[in-house]
Amino acid sequence: MFVLLLCIVAALAALGGGFIAIRSRSKLNLALGFTAGVILGLVAFDLLPQIFEITKNQNLDIVWPMLALVTGFLLFHIVEKSILIHNSHESDYGPHTHPAVGVAGAVALSGHSFLDGASIGVAFQVSMAVGVAVAIAVIGHRFADGFNTTNVMLFHKNKLSRAKKMLFIAAAMPILGGLSTLLFSLSESVLAIYLGFFAGFLLYIGASDILPQAHTKGSSRWTILLTVLGTAFMFAVTRLA
């Protein structure tokens, strides 16, 4: 029951981040600048340290998570470009935007949300102390995940109603992930490889999609500042967690 309660808190944190993104959609370029910084900080200060710690503890060759990182980067690149080529006749969207790409990105983020919830459940299988520590870390960055999920959808010109649906799906995933741990446990070696794959996906959408589009209307000192602040925000979240 305690695991479920913490997963619900994580879901509410994601909803909070998503609705703040919706409120700021009139200044989407500024929100995208902040999102890019958050994604960079998430990879640098959360995912990669977790990967390095797990590979050290499990005596796992670091090349496997890094191979997964490259695979995640290239796979999303291929998916995105395939969608854009297939729908190149739709002139309503720019050369780098299409609703289907936004949905693909949001689905991937939802998958990560599921594993966030699962990580809480698995941590409580180890001990209460470990479970609480992991839950605090997950809740801390669920806000950013909700924010990112919504901005990815809006950036790719999805309707607001669809963006909200994906936000609610992403918010519900930690609850389902936490409940799923009643049925299975995830090995740390598999987790390290998954985290590498997800880090590659995030690096692609952050550096190749979101950050360039944040400057499409001309570089702004505010956009640059918000990118730096987004990175600093994730650093603070990971240190406090």
- List the chain pLDDT tens, one digit each, 241 residues: 678 888 888 889 889 888 888 887 667 677 778 878 888 888 898 889 989 999 999 999 999 999 999 998 998 788 767 755 544 444 454 555 567 777 777 887 788 788 778 878 876 765 575 566 567 667 766 777 788 788 888 877 788 888 888 889 988 988 998 888 888 766 788 888 888 887 888 788 778 767 776 776 556 788 889 889 989 988 987 887 6
Domain range summary for the chain, segments of one domain joined by +:
2-240
Burial bucket for residue 220 (CB in 10 Å: 0-12, 13-18, 19+): middle
Give the model's pLDDT for residue 93.
Answer: 46
Distances (CA, A) of 236 to 45, 46, 231: 9, 11, 9
Give the model's pLDDT for residue 91.
Answer: 47
Vertex 143: Cα angle to 96 and 223 (nearest 5):
45
Q: What is the C-alpha to C-alpha distance for residues 43 and 181, in angstroms, rounded to an integer? A: 25
Q: What is the C-alpha to C-alpha distance for residues 172 and 104, in angstroms, rounded to an integer? A: 17
User: Which of 100, 97, 96 is closest to 108 using CA atoms?
Assistant: 100
Structure tokens that stand for 234 in this block: 């994730």
- C-beta separation of 121 from 180 below 8 A: yes
Give the model's pLDDT for residue 218.
Answer: 56
Q: What is the C-alpha to C-alpha distance for residues 56 and 123, in angstroms, rounded to an integer? A: 18
- C-beta separation of 150 from 22 below 8 A: yes
Give the model's pLDDT for residue 78.
Answer: 84
Looking at residue 87, what DSSP letter applies? T
pTM of the model: 0.67
Polymer length in residues for the chain: 241
Give the model's pLDDT for residue 137.
Answer: 63
Give the model's pLDDT for residue 86.
Answer: 47
